[in-house]
């Protein structure tokens, strides 16, 4: 059984009836619904819960954490961010969605500003598959088309991804690296661009498939953790003058 | 004219006569000496100077910053680290040496613990060139051999390097990724392993050649900075329902 | 059910009683034995069979092909190599072992000479895990130690691997990139260094675990193949002067 | 002095008055003109010359080779392709332009089909800079806009580039990895997409700047070539049972 926690800021849903109509159970609820299967156990957590819903117990039992935030990145407590980071470095998978590019957890794992161009103008988006052999795009065709989305454009200030899986075309003239993987410590990190709150993107079955695939890709492997620090020699070292 | 600043913690040199004998002008002095040429202007800066020697004027006029620290990483003020990071993201080159793997600036740019195995036992080290076409190893043969060095061993908890240029063999049985490049923002970062304070490593001419090459590699390019934020469309966007 | 074909040159086994004693069923037989499970169906194929055992039927029903060759790379017919290459580019996984670095199939997929240093002198080898989160090293500790192996040393003339998973330390003073992944077309390629014919390397349980993991990693994903060639526009193109 | 050879198929120029009008000295002549400086010596070579203009003398004295071909890839003799490949692996830089993606030399260095989508329909192209710190885009702004070009679309069947520097947006709805670097042997390879023969692309000053930058990036470094083959141990190897 794989344990997934979907974290959502859950503020747009409270303020904006358009968002509430699209996601009556919240973005977290929508994602939890399509991820849940017989072998995937999904919980949700939101900003305004105690510890943002991310107690030590929750974090320690989470195999893959999904992160959606936008309005209130600064309200996420540093202490919680540090714990999430620690867990990623120990092996927990992390999937950062859309405006989560500016979340504290993503920025601290990337080491860059994670800045980009953006526009809310109903751009058509077409996400082209660049690496068709990658398990994250299993079952996806040549591209995913979204009739309307927020535009994110290059330059996207991220480290060069370990793997670049999809690139977006936008109607207004921009491109974007939309599906990127990173290894950080023993954890796997996946950034996936689409998902502006005023569009029904997470109801799109291909988008759902990508996120479901990413959960399987990001899950921790069974491993003996490396040992750090002062190390005895494994071979004899000759004495020198 | 290229402007290089060599930053050194400069504490071992004050405390340990062995280090002072090897580096009578400090590690920073030794590095500044071999880097200085008609076209490379080198300054030094140390921890105990005001602002650690890294005033805004110094940082803003530095093309490539070299960093050596070990005992006192925690004494480097966060405000200065943030300014250095900002400058790297804007394009300043950064060369991190040896125990600088645990410096605040390297860890914040990497996003990982940067932990490793280590041993002070006079291991022989042999740095093998993995990428012989890289300009950083121009003029270097198949390997550089150091009779005695501190051992650093894998697992080295860093993101997968953009380019892996050299790997070390150690007498006591370990290996290490010793020469790694990263792009962060508009800046180039190079990590280079050798240089424990009690060995005359920075007097080795091949080590000097690598660091000199790295300075040329890491220097900023002439460029128009990308623009971030809200962006007008470059193409007409169709109205949608 | 996953279909694996283990291809072996199977010449050393005929000529050398030492090899025959270690691998009475051939290297291919030994590998087939440990790979076979309820969900993995394994066939073998050897050089001296018609079509080298790689008929169109065999190739078309193979999900992952394992390749061991050494003495007789030149005897492998170009027509068969071309078919194997075609299948890899279409999605078949390929695992190249040890002296297979000089096989026609590996060289044509890499585009380089794939040359290296070597020595048969009972070197101890220690394969250090560099990427502990990679599924290919699931269940493996910090390193695998082999008491005696042929040495392969850098420079190894390969393209920079997509992922570098293990690096070897050799008693005689060399290092080597021993576990490397590549994407080629829609296929996944894994090169794994150990396995000289005069040592019982493929009886080592950790080596077996790596190869078993690699089979799972390299298996094809379900996908719609990209379409190439002349493409109609997806958006209206303005007429220009 | 850097020695550059610009190789051009030079067939469109003979057949098509439109091309001849745009490039009265041939595509090779146009490129040679803008590349020539006091420190860059440029020669040209074309398909219909003896040895395609690529005698051993020419190849051995070329630091960087530029390749433009389209109609007649199959007429390039394998013996010449093998010599070019050998020289690249030894350190000669190679810049492959536009329809050269299907040249024998590019395909044999990549190991893949190098296939793609294409369309001749006066698409507008916008090449976005993804890696603004790369020396190949020194002096270039956020993007290069070409009013009309042939479209090349993903999936582009290449190995994952070592560095992805620019991505194209096309009016008709596609994206493309347009500026890619690869290391092969001791040589550096750069693929650059634009340059259909019926458009004046190589008269665009920004396109010229990219190619000029790429020549400097791809030039060989001074180095001792690695030694391959049977290697004596550098350290004593213990006798084992």
Neighbours of chain B (3+ CB pairs under 8 A): A, C, D
Query: Around Cβ A139, how many Cβ atoms within 10 Å?
Result: 15
CA–CA distance, D94 with D96 (Å, rounded to integer): 6
CA–CA distance, B143 with C175 (Å, rounded to integer): 11
pLDDT for position B224: 76
Which alpha helices (DSSP H) does B36-146 contain, by range?
A: 56-60, 78-90, 104-110
- Residue ranges of the domains in chain B? 2-111+178-218
Both tokens assigned to A152: 């994110």
Residue C19 near residue C12, CB atoms below 8 Å: yes
CA–CA distance, A176 with A169 (Å, rounded to integer): 7
pLDDT for position B93: 98
CA–CA distance, B204 with A55 (Å, rounded to integer): 52
Percent of chain A whose predicted confidence (pLDDT) is above 70: 100
pLDDT for position B241: 80
Chain C residue numbers with beta carbons less than 8 Å from the beta carbon of D122 are 237, 239-240
CA–CA distance, A62 with A87 (Å, rounded to integer): 9
Give, for all 241 residues of chain D, the pLDDT tens digit. Answer: 999 999 999 999 999 999 999 999 999 999 999 999 999 999 999 999 999 999 999 999 999 999 999 999 999 999 999 999 999 999 999 999 999 999 999 999 999 999 999 999 999 999 999 999 999 999 999 999 999 999 999 999 999 999 999 999 999 999 999 999 999 999 999 999 999 999 999 999 999 999 999 999 999 998 778 999 999 999 999 999 8
Residue of A108, A231, A235 best to disrupt the B interface, most CBs of B under 10 A: A231
Residue C112 near residue D185, CB atoms below 8 Å: yes
Q: What is the mean pLDDT of chain B?
A: 97
Residue B93 near residue B46, CB atoms below 8 Å: no
Q: What is the mean pLDDT of chain A?
A: 97
Least confident of B144-158, B222-236, C110-124, D58-72: B222-236
* pLDDT one-digit tens code per residue, A159-213: 999 999 999 999 999 999 999 999 999 999 999 999 999 999 999 999 999 999 9
Query: Around Cβ C124, how many Cβ atoms within 10 Å?
Result: 20
Is the bond into D140 cis (omega within 30 degrees of 0)?
no
Q: How confident is the model at residue A41 (pLDDT cuts 50, 70, 90)?
A: very high
Q: How confident is the model at residue A224 (pLDDT cuts 50, 70, 90)?
A: confident
Query: Closest-CA residue in chain D for A125?
Result: D173
CA dihedral C142, C147, C150, C152 (to 10 degrees): 30
Chain D residue numbers with beta carbons less than 8 Å from the beta carbon of C151 are 231, 233
CA dihedral B152, B154, B160, B161 (to 10 degrees): 30
* pLDDT one-digit tens code per residue, B189-206: 999 999 999 999 999 999
Of the candidates C191, D85, D184, the one whose C-alpha atom is nearest the C-alpha of residue B131 is: D184
pLDDT for position B51: 97
pLDDT for position A43: 98
CA B209 to chain centre: 14
CA dihedral A108, A110, A115, A116 (to 10 degrees): -150
In this complex, is the C-beta atom of D142 within 8 Å of any C-beta atom belonging to chain A?
Answer: yes
Chain B residue numbers with beta carbons less than 8 Å from the beta carbon of A112 are 89, 184-185
Both tokens assigned to B201: 């490593």
Q: Element (H or E) spanning A95, and its range? A: strand A93-97
Chain C residue numbers with beta carbons less than 8 Å from the beta carbon of D235 are 171-173
pLDDT for position B95: 98
CA–CA distance, B20 with D141 (Å, rounded to integer): 48
- Answer with the residue of higher pLDDT: B223 or C190: C190
Calculate ∠ Cα D47-D49-D50, nearest 5°. Answer: 115
In this complex, is the C-beta atom of B239 within 8 Å of any C-beta atom belonging to chain D?
Answer: no
Of the candidates B129, B139, B162, B191, the one whose C-alpha atom is nearest the C-alpha of residue D220 is: B139
**Chain-chain contact of B134 with D221 (C-beta, under 8 angstroms):** yes
pLDDT at residue B125 greater than cutoff 90 = yes
**Chain-chain contact of B163 with C160 (C-beta, under 8 angstroms):** yes
Terminus-to-terminus CA distance in chain B, angstroms? Answer: 58
In this complex, is the C-beta atom of D239 within 8 Å of any C-beta atom belonging to chain A?
Answer: no
3-state secondary structure of A191: strand
pLDDT for position C241: 80
* pLDDT one-digit tens code per residue, A56-104: 999 999 999 999 999 999 999 999 999 999 999 999 999 999 999 999 9
* pLDDT one-digit tens code per residue, D12-31: 999 999 999 999 999 999 99
pLDDT for position D17: 96
Q: What is the mean pLDDT of chain C?
A: 97
Q: Among partner residues A126, A132, A164, which is closest to D173 by beta-carbon distance?
A: A126
Specify the pTM. Answer: 0.98
Domain over B2-111+178-218 is classified CATH 3.40.50.880: yes
Q: Return all residues near C52 (Cβ < 8 A) that are at least 6 apart.
A: C7, C45, C46, C76, C77, C80
Both tokens assigned to B52: 């650690």
What is D36-65 written as a DSSP string? Answer: --SSEEEEEEETTSGGGG--HHHHHT-SEE
- Which stretches does DSSP call E strand in chain D? 2-8, 40-46, 64-68, 93-97, 117-129, 143-153, 163-170, 175-184, 187-192, 229-230
- C143 CA to chain A: closest CA distance, Å? 10
The predicted model gives C151-158 an average pLDDT of 98
Calculate ∠ Cα C3-C5-C7, nearest 5°. Answer: 175
Residue C130 near residue C180, CB atoms below 8 Å: no
**Chain-chain contact of C129 with A226 (C-beta, under 8 angstroms):** yes
Q: Among partner residues A131, A138, A222, which is closest to C222 by beta-carbon distance?
A: A138
Both tokens assigned to C185: 């077309």
Interface A-D: count of C-beta contacts within 8 A: 58
- A4 CA to chain B: closest CA distance, Å? 23
Calculate ∠ Cα A172-A175-A176, nearest 5°. Answer: 130
The CATH code belonging to domain C2-112+179-218 is 3.40.50.880
Chain D residue numbers with beta carbons less than 8 Å from the beta carbon of C112 are 89, 184-185
pLDDT for position A241: 80
Q: Among partner residues C130, C153, C154, which is closest to B154 by beta-carbon distance?
A: C130
Residue B90 near residue B60, CB atoms below 8 Å: no
The predicted model gives C134-156 an average pLDDT of 97
The CATH code belonging to domain D2-112+178-218 is 3.40.50.880
* pLDDT one-digit tens code per residue, A1-11: 999 999 999 99
Question: Can you state the angle between helices B26-35 and B205-218, rounded to 10 degrees?
Answer: 70
Query: Closest-CA residue in chain C for A136?
Result: C221
CA distances from C19 to B157, C23, C48, C201, D240 (A): 40, 6, 18, 11, 18
Residue D81 near residue D108, CB atoms below 8 Å: yes
Chain C residue numbers with beta carbons less than 8 Å from the beta carbon of D112 are 89, 184-185
**What is the interface pTM, i.e. ipTM, of the complex?**
0.96
Residue of B78, B162, B228, B236 best to disrupt the A interface, most CBs of A under 10 A: B228
């Amino acid at each position: 059984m794989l344990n997934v926690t979907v974290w959502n800021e859950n503020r747009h849903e409270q303020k904006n009836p358009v968002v509430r109509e699209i996601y009556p159970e919240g973005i977290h609820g929508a994602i939890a619904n399509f991820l849940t299967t017989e072998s995937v156990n999904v919980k949700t957590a939101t900003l305004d819960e105690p510890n943002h819903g991310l107690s030590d117990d929750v974090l320690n039992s989470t195999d893959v954490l999904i992160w959606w935030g936008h309005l209130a990145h600064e309200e996420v407590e540093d202490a919680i961010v540090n714990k999430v980071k620690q867990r990623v470095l120990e092996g927990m998978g992390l999937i950062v969605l859309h405006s989560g590019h500016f979340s504290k957890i993503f920025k601290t794992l990337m080491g860059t500003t994670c800045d980009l161009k953006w526009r809310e103008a109903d751009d058509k988006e077409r996400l082209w598959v660049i690496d068709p052999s990658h398990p994250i795009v299993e079952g996806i065709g040549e591209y995913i088309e979204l009739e309307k989305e927020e535009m994110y454009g290059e330059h996207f200030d991220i480290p060069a991804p370990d793997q670049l899986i999809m690139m977006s075309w936008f109607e207004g003239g921009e491109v974007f690296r939309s599906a990127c993987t990173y290894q950080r410590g023993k954890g796997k990190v996946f950034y996936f661009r689409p998902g502006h709150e005023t569009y029904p993107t997470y109801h799109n079955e291909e988008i759902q498939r990508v996120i479901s695939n990413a959960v399987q890709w990001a899950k921790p492997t069974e491993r003996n953790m490396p040992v750090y620090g002062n190390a005895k020699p494994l071979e004899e070292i000759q004495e020198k003058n």
